[in-house]
Chains A and B, each alone.
Chain A
Amino acid sequence: MEHYTMNLTLKVWRQSEKNSDGRFETYEVKDISSEMSFLEMFDVLNEQLVIEGKDPIAFDHDCREGICGMCSMYINGRPHGPWHATTTCQLHMRAFKDGDTVVVEPWRAKGFPVIKDLVTDRSAFDRIIQSGGFISVNTGNAVDGNSLPIEKEKADASFAAAACIGCGACVAACKNASASLFLSAKVAHLALLPQGQPERKNRVLSMVAQMDKEGFGSCTFTGACEAVCPKEIAITNISRMHKDYLAAGLSNER
């Protein structure tokens, strides 16, 4: 791939703390390599800001290899930027050309309040996962993997759902700020496996209740979540969750 450098105009959301008013600031970055990642470009900008004696831009990141789900940026009107199935940290600057203006915003949702600049508090997702509770498995020596037969299709579907990294892009994209795609991935990856059966009903009921409590909206199947999910979680998981929820609501012992 041909290497090139570019100058960009960035419009970035700045907000000093949770309850303060924020605003967009405009920055110019020069000689950005097309081989940099989007976050590296931010590193360059932040170094520039530090040298100028200004407050660097706060943004979340951890693994920088597309597996932790921390790098939440809404870039030019799309969570994680223009590339399909790609996290912000894996987005490369060759997605942009010289002279582009790039607008960077934090995730916007009641359930994800902004803490500072582009950093949002996504602990709501942790609480949703916690509300699902434990799974009952035998302790003691590790059992032989082959002692528990699992259908190939179910194992695959469960594995695909377990790929969700909890980044929150689905919420950021959804017009209802619904966390249904995330939640349905978490529900599906256990509901499809034998280990997930004992607590299956209570788990889906509690997790959906927790999602509502955290202030996320409900699903109306617009499909925006599936389009932006970096892990390509299928929206059919949401229908599977609805089916489980209905069945659990009708037949649960509690």
Chain B
Amino acid sequence: MALTGIFLISFLLVHVGLNACIFADLNWLNPADNGEMFNKAAHFMGSTIVTRLLELVLFAGFLLHIIQGYAIEAKNRSRRGQGYKVSMGSRGSTWMSRSMAILGTLIFLYLVMHIAQFWVPSRITKDLQEVTYNGVEMHNLYLRMYEVFQQPVVVLLYLVGVAALAFHLLHGFHSAFRSMGVHNKKYLSLLKGLGYGFTVIVCLLFALMPIAMYLQWVSPNS
């Protein structure tokens, strides 16, 4: 659980870094970029054997984490038996720490939509518009992103997904290290701080992507 969680966190870092390339096209920054930086980065991820293998490892990681997550949740839920009349609620624990499986389920639902919108057309059906830079033809994923984020419902669903991820990580980040044995109080507060910082920055960046495109801060030059 902890190992796959930390692996998925490392994936987030790569993913957010790559996608943040769309901000090279911010209208007040460099509108001439027109998604070139992002498209090239995305093309690189899809075109080398190493990154394609990593993609398989990533799918395996998600699968393992989700299976383990539901297995642990099912086991732990069965261990109370009859419940209490008066619940303890948030006296002593945070809501997110008690809701990891619900948050994980929201992330999972989000993931299905997300993969159907980007990964499937890019890797399976290959029905995206092409764009050419320096003679190399590649998918215009940037344009795809822009089109997807013109629907207000989709933008809203993305924000819900990112919020679920944020709460999942606010607990999961430090919990993962504690599960693996970090018990020094100083390192623990350091890890908590790091986890909060990481979560806020990564999730804010993810949330800004649909917002920026919907509000035309980032948009293709027609």
Q: Which residues of A contact B (CB under 8 A)?
A: 11, 24, 74, 76-78, 103, 105, 108-111, 113, 173, 175-178, 215-228, 236-240, 242-244, 246
Contacts and interface: CB of A to CB of B under 8 A. Distances in A.
Contact of B87 (A77, A109, A223, A236): A77
A239 B98 contact: no
A96 B82 CA distance: 27
Interface residues of chain B: helix, strand, loop or mixed (majority): loop
B111 to A, nearest CB: 21
B160 to A, nearest CB: 23
A105 B188 contact: no
Interface stretch (B13-21, B22-30, B38-46, B173-181): B173-181
B222 interface: no
Given A175-B80, A216-B79, A246-B181, 10 more contacts: A74-B86, A109-B81, A110-B78, A178-B76, A217-B76, A220-B175, A221-B171, A221-B179, A224-B92, A236-B184
B179 A242 contact: yes
7 contacts: A77-B84, A78-B88, A110-B79, A220-B76, A239-B188, A243-B182, A246-B180
B181 A78 contact: no
Contact of A175 (B91, B93, B182, B188): B93
Contacts, number: 113
B94 A77 contact: no
6 tightest A-B CB contacts, nearest first: A243-B181, A227-B92, A77-B86, A176-B76, A239-B183, A222-B93
Interface of B: 72, 75-89, 91-94, 97-98, 100, 171, 174-175, 178-185, 188
Given A239-B183, A240-B183, A242-B178, A111 B92 contact: no
B97 A223 contact: yes
Given A222-B94, A227-B92, A239-B178, A177 B86 contact: no
Contacts of A176: 76-77, 79
Contacts of B182: 239, 243
A175 B92 CA distance: 11
B178 A238 contact: yes
Nearest to A247: B181
B79 A220 contact: no
B156 to A, nearest CB: 30
A110 B77 CA distance: 11
A222 B98 contact: yes
Contacts of A238: 178, 183
Nearest to B97: A222
A239 B181 contact: yes
Contact of A242 (B77, B85, B181): B181
A174 B184 CA distance: 23
Given A178-B79, A217-B75, A221-B97, A105 B86 contact: yes
Nearest to B86: A77
Nearest to A215: B79
A225 B93 CA distance: 9
B79 A77 contact: no
Given A103-B85, A108-B81, A221-B175, A237 B183 contact: yes
Contacts of B85: 11, 24, 103, 105
Contacts of A226: 92
Contacts of A237: 183
Contacts of B80: 108-110, 175, 177, 217
